[in-house]
Amino acid sequence: MVTEIKFCSPVGKWWFLSPYAEFPINIEVDGKFYTFQTVEHYYQAMKFYATDERFNTILNLKNPDDARLITKTPEYKINRRLDFDKNKFDIMEKGLRAKFTQNLKAAEMLKTTRNAVLVKSCKECYKCGFGIGSGQNRMGKILMQIREELLSS
């Protein structure tokens, strides 16, 4: 029998699946490596070029929800990275892959989900297409692919 695991915020048994879970990732952006506290920090910062002060503001915020919320303000809605919307799912996948390949503890926890269907079920994610409301469950599918790769290696 296949189990379904629903996750959202970094709390409860499945906290580690959330992009808010605190597993730092080191990723090259615009020719330079940066360490992001969470995948959410990375995803939100990628709305801007690394030379933009807003990128560094997001990079240095303590709370991943603050990183998300700041991009909703008027000054963060203009002059964004031109290709962000086209590449946002690839950006999220790159961040999640970094999380589970650079953090052994996170990788081991992901493996414990075995063959469960992983479902990102946050109501806030409806519009961006990661949540169940969109019917696409893109984040869950990315996590299941990464899990499969980890289990087969």
Domain ranges of the chain: 4-152
Per-residue model confidence (pLDDT) at position 111: 98
Dump pLDDT digits (tens) for 59-86.
999 999 999 999 999 999 999 999 999 9
Q: What is the mean pLDDT of residues 103-114?
A: 97
Rounded Cα–Cα distance for residues 17 and 12 (Å): 10
Residue 39, pLDDT > 60, answer yes
Is residue 22 helix, strand or coil?
coil
Rounded Cα–Cα distance for residues 131 and 140 (Å): 8
Length of the chain: 153
Residue of higher predicted confidence among 125 and 88? 88
Please state the CATH superfamily assignment of the domain spanning residues 4-152 in this structure: YbiA-like (1.10.357.40)
Helix (H) or strand (E) holding 118: strand 117-120
Classify each residue of 69-104 as buried b or exposed e, where b means 16 or more C-beta atoms within 10 Å of its C-beta: eebeeeebeeebbeeeeeebbebbbbbbbbbbeebe
Q: What is the mean pLDDT of residues 119-134?
A: 62
